[in-house]
Chains A and B, each alone.
Chain A
Amino acid sequence: MQTDIYVNVDQKVLTKKDLVEIYEKFSPRLFAYAFRLLGDSQLAEDCVSETFSRFLKVIQRSAAPKENLKAYLYRISHNWIMDYYRKRHPEQGEGALEQLHSDSDNVEGKISQAFEQQKIRKALLNLPENQRQVIMLRFYDEWSHTETASALGKSEEATRALQYRALEGLRRQLIPDQEKGKA
């Protein structure tokens, strides 16, 4: 089902070598995932680091997930991000702007892009939890419906429904009413 998980976690013994592979495979993706929601490289790195730290603790307690390791890792990351927003005010995470300083050309364009991204981020954070999850996994991480459904513990139809509603929610937030008719 999870076609791109080549790490065999069915083994009775998950070795250190396996875990290093898992790290190499998933840390860049989890970084991208975290960055999209946090808008800040440093925070996204913190999230990746904490995700794997928690994951290792789980492994140590022999509670390693026997299946769908990928969903498991994303879930830990997602929890971390949501914790972050819960503890701090949702308006934080304007860090995208910090990414600009190194690029001197087309600053204006970059700033407007950063604002645009921040707008999307806010819209995503305004979505109900599992609608946001569906968009993050389906759209941004390009998971299949099957994978997403299994990660969320829902049926595929329910996942599709969530996706539909999530997109509607985003459209309502991101595309002003007066423009709707023009399309």
Chain B
Amino acid sequence: MMKEFFQQEPIDPRLINILNSLKDTPPRDPDLAEQNKYKFLSELENLPIPTKRPSAIRQFLIGLGISADTNKYKENNKMTTNKKRLAITIIAVLVVFVIALFGGTTATVLAAQNSIPGDTLYPIKTTLERTRLSLARSTDARVELQLEFAEQRLGEIESLIKEGRFQNIKPAATAFEGHIFKALEELNALAQVNPDLAGRLMVRLTESISRYAAALSDMAGRVPEPVRADLQNTIINLGGGDDNANDNANDNANDNANDNFNDNANDNFNDNFNDNFNDNFNDNFNDNENYNDSYDYNENDSYDYNYNDNDNYNDNDNGNFNVNGD
């Protein structure tokens, strides 16, 4: 675009050679890199943000300022009662609308309650669950709900096995793990403020989890191979949850990490540096006096993305350069 203003100016090839010797960096020490990654994942795990991308419905709720997730961004915490009320009204309207669509009786809601993953009415069931969660005031109520929903998922897996709909088992198992994980997160948070209550709930949760593990291993014996591996994975993840939430959290984090591992680090290395580097050198710096060449980054903790351009360093000597030497 501005090309015509810049006369092409070759860089001294000796300079390129010299600079290139800093281009290659040594490989990372695998232990240090692994340690760093572990540190990152544990810090990440303690962040109060969702593990996975929320469903469309959840995103909609978040957009309204209400999230069924117990872990929210701060800004979502600032939701007003009015917004919450509005959201609930909208959900109620939606539910009524869906009921009308499917025949308009309480039978529909009941049918939804009995639906299993893959059924048309199943989304109604999960939406209702999320609504109940968002309305739950206390931590113990939310833990109770998570356990109730976890049991629902187990019941659904059982039904799916009976109906031979194995392809829907994995999502149900994932959802099951999600409920357990969230219950543990709730307890983790509660332990900071009310360790006694958290301890009592933890005992209950642990009992439930061992019951669930037994039920799951029974189910795993009755499904074909790939699905069996999924269920066994879920059991393993539950095992991590027995001790404390963080163990479970780290397991999950590592799973994610492995899933997403990619080796893009080098994909930008190419040797066409000269192609995009040589072109368009500006040799007519008529405005050099106006450049402030030195500035400090903003030093405060907020990293607010602004440079401080205020140091009055003036790089006035450019006019004196003669690129082609004497």
Contacts and interface: CB of A to CB of B under 8 A. Distances in A.
Interface of A: 4, 11-21, 23-25, 27-29, 31-32, 35-36, 41-42, 45, 48-49, 52-54, 56, 58-63, 65, 72, 75-76, 78-79, 82, 99, 113, 116-117, 120-121, 128-131, 135, 138-142, 144-145, 152-153, 156-158, 160-165, 167-168, 170-171, 174-175, 179-181, 183
Interface residues of B, number: 86
11 contacts: A13-B59, A17-B51, A20-B260, A31-B28, A36-B25, A63-B304, A75-B303, A128-B294, A145-B280, A164-B282, A168-B323
B45 interface: yes
B174 to A, nearest CB: 13
Given A120-B22, A171-B12, A139 B277 contact: yes
Contacts of B287: 161
B171 interface: no
Interface stretch (B31-39, B80-88, B221-229): B31-39
Contacts of B273: 139, 142
A35 B37 CA distance: 17
Contact of B44 (A19, A32, A158): A19
A160 B282 contact: yes
Contacts of B29: 41, 45
Contacts of B306: 153
In the A-B complex, the 7 residue pairs with the smallest Cβ-Cβ separation, listed nearest first, are A28-B265, A128-B294, A128-B293, A180-B325, A32-B25, A62-B74, A35-B25
Contacts of A145: 276, 280
Contact of B297 (A16, A79, A128, A165): A79
Given A65-B305, A120-B21, 14 more contacts: A13-B54, A13-B73, A20-B257, A21-B262, A53-B39, A61-B74, A72-B305, A75-B303, A139-B19, A142-B268, A142-B273, A157-B282, A164-B285, A181-B325
Contacts of A42: 32
Nearest to A136: B22
Interface string B9-29: 101101100110111011011
Given A16-B253, A24-B260, A75-B297, A174 B2 contact: no
A41 B262 contact: no
Interface string B210-243: 0000000000000000000000000000000000
Nearest to A112: B21
Given A120-B21, A139-B277, A165 B26 contact: no
A58 B282 CA distance: 38
Contacts of B5: 157
Contacts of A113: 21
B178 to A, nearest CB: 12
**Majority secondary structure, B binding face:** loop
B40 interface: yes
A28 B33 CA distance: 9
Contact of A168 (B23, B35, B307, B321): B321
Contacts of A49: 36, 39-40
Nearest to B21: A116
Contact of B26 (A23, A35, A157): A35
B104 interface: no
Nearest to B9: A164
B313 interface: yes
A170 to B, nearest CB: 6
B90 to A, nearest CB: 17
A54 to B, nearest CB: 7
Contacts of A142: 268-270, 273, 276
Nearest to B28: A31
B32 A16 contact: no
B119 interface: no
Contacts of B14: 175, 179, 183
A175 B12 contact: yes
Given A13-B54, A20-B257, A158 B45 contact: no
A183 B99 CA distance: 83
B53 interface: yes
A24 B257 contact: yes
Contact of B47 (A11, A17, A60, A161): A60
